[in-house]
């Protein structure tokens, strides 16, 4: 196995609480899932050694349609370590506080009309609305503690999905 140190760098100036990326090889075979938190993240990635460069995909698993970033890992032998930096384009969407208790604030950079959808861990939609001012607050006080997915849209285009945790 070849050992790569994969550095994921956010392009956005706004820190995103978290997201998960699936790594696939050039044949589409699943390799692993990487959880990315605020700022840059470094991971060890072990893949079969190859005498030629190989292409991989890094796909945001909470965005539909999937947002995938293609990258190439250079040829490496079994006994060497290679470092690869991959930039992650992140939408300028900020969700806070993290974790939340009663109110979720959604802030979107830029002009235009945006919408949001909030789903429960079981897949049901628990809230939706229009972001007509920046930031907008969403009252989640009546919802039980748990993990929720927040999707932000501009028209029919999803900007991304992020998970939030409600603690009470």
pLDDT in tens, the chain (168 residues): 677 777 766 554 444 445 677 788 888 888 887 776 655 667 777 777 778 888 888 776 655 445 667 778 887 766 666 777 766 554 577 888 888 999 999 988 777 788 888 988 777 889 999 988 888 999 999 999 988 888 888 776 667 677 788 988
**Do 114 and 47 fall within a single domain?**
no
Structure token pair of residue 97? 């506080």
Residues 62 and 163 sit within 8 Å (Cβ to Cβ): yes
- The residue from 68, 88, 108 where one domain ends is 88
Q: Say how many C-beta atoms besides its own lie within 10 A of residue 148's C-beta.
A: 20
**Do 49 and 126 fall within a single domain?**
no
Enter the pTM of the model: 0.52
**Do 72 and 119 fall within a single domain?**
no
* pLDDT confidence of residue 137: 94
Q: What is the span of the domain harbouring residue 74?
A: 2-88
**Do 82 and 29 fall within a single domain?**
yes
Q: Looking at residue 76, what DSSP letter applies?
A: B
Give the separation between CA 104 and CA 96, rounded to whole angstroms: 6
* pLDDT confidence of residue 111: 75
Structure-token match 């796909």, residue found:
59
**Do 45 and 120 fall within a single domain?**
no
Give the separation between CA 40 and CA 42, rounded to whole angstroms: 7
129: CATH: 2.60.40.10
**Do 63 and 123 fall within a single domain?**
no
DSSP 118-164: EEETTS-EEEEEEE-SSSEEEE-TTSPSEEEEEEEEETTEEEEEEEE
**Do 82 and 6 fall within a single domain?**
yes
Number of domains composing the chain: 2
Element (H, E) at 7: strand 2-10
What is the end-to-end Cα distance of the chain in Å, rounded? 45
Cis peptide upstream of residue 65 (ω within 30 degrees of 0)? yes
**Do 78 and 99 fall within a single domain?**
no
**Do 7 and 74 fall within a single domain?**
yes
């Amino acid at each position: 196995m070849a050992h790569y140190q994969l550095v994921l760098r956010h392009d956005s100036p706004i820190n995103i609480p978290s997201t998960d990326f699936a790594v696939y090889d050039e044949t589409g075979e699943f390799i692993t899932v990487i959880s990315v938190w605020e700022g840059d993240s470094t991971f060890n990635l072990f893949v079969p050694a190859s005498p030629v460069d190989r292409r991989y995909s890094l796909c945001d698993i909470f965005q539909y349609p999937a947002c995938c970033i293609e990258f190439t890992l250079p040829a490496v032998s079994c006994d060497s370590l290679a470092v690869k930096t991959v930039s992650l384009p992140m939408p300028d969407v900020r969700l806070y506080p993290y974790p939340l208790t009663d109110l979720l604030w959604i802030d979107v950079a830029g002009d235009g009309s945006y919408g949001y959808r909030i789903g429960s861990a079981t897949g049901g939609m628990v809230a939706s609305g229009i972001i007509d001012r920046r930031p907008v607050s969403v009252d989640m006080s009546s919802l039980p503690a748990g993990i929720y997915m927040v999707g932000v849209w501009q028209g029919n285009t999803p900007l991304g999905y992020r998970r939030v945790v409600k603690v009470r």
